[in-house]
Structure 1
């Protein structure tokens, strides 16, 4: 029979070590939660038309429109807002995943599941284009193009 199983001192040491790991994980998880709740991300579109700020859940908490909006078609303004919001959420997902890695690490299945869940909740794929970068006549002026389109 294995002496370790019946060794009370060894069992106490293993139990104390396990409790220490659990206590550290609980503290790290609380730190992660507090840091995630504090995150805010602000992103401006490259054309200087809009700036959005989102909170830790990805909800829009501030929207600033510049006077450039007055000379821009409404559909371009709305598309730029939505694309800038999507970019802000992608940046929030990146920052949130950094916080998760810094606080609870990436080794445990639980930490990986949290990071994956955050990414799925916040990230958006490439912005869908209802319109192309340039107008129907190929005119690539400020009024008819999206400012976040990579090109």
Structure 2
């Protein structure tokens, strides 16, 4: 083999090793994010909410204190605690991405953009007043 052919072969092998390493890191990140669960509590722990990696509520616990408070207050606490848990989910995903593939990588940026889009508040998805 000529030197140029050897160099090309070495370059291809290096590229393959880099691609395999990135694939392994990405698979690790996906696995960790998939297992991510966040629990948040309201002040006084009247309400506890757990969300999964998709922001879906997987557990909701209400203390006995809700029996003696206004139902509207309980509803507000549930919604605020859900938002708190979902916010924690974004932070947890950010840590995982940073520790595995890096927040500045193209894949890391895409993953975090997906999280931001998925975890928006429902009112953020409504059209602006006057828009149709």
TM-score normalised to structure 2 length? 0.85
Q: Which 5+ residue runs of structure 2 have no aligned equivalent? A: 123-132
SS at match of 1:57: coil
**Aligned counterpart in structure 2 of residue 94 of structure 1, from 91, 94, 102:** 91
TM-score normalised to structure 1 length? 0.75
Matched positions, count: 122
The structure richer in helix per residue is 2
CA shift for structure 1 position 30: 0.5
Q: Is residue 94–residue 103 contact of structure 2 (8 Å, CA) maintained in 1?
A: no
**Aligned counterpart in structure 1 of residue 10 of structure 2, from 9, 13, 31:** 13
Superposition RMSD on alpha carbons, in Å? 2.0
- Aligned pairs for 1:52-131 within 5 A: 52-124=49-121
Runs of 4+ in 1 over 3 A off after TM superposition: none
Q: Which 5+ residue runs of structure 1 have no aligned equivalent? A: 1-5, 126-151
CA shift for structure 1 position 107: 3.1
SS at match of 1:47: helix
In the TM superposition, what whole-angstrom CA distance separates every residue of 1:82-114 from its partner, at most 9, and x where no partner exists?
A: 110011000001101110111111232222121
Q: Is residue 56–residue 92 contact of structure 1 (8 Å, CA) maintained in 2?
A: yes
Q: Larger Cα Rg: Structure 1 or Structure 2?
A: 1
CA shift for structure 1 position 124: 4.1
Aligned counterparts of 2:29 and 2:35: Cα–Cα separation in 1: 10
Aligned counterparts of 2:90 and 2:72: Cα–Cα separation in 1: 27
Corresponding position: 1:29 with 2:26: yes
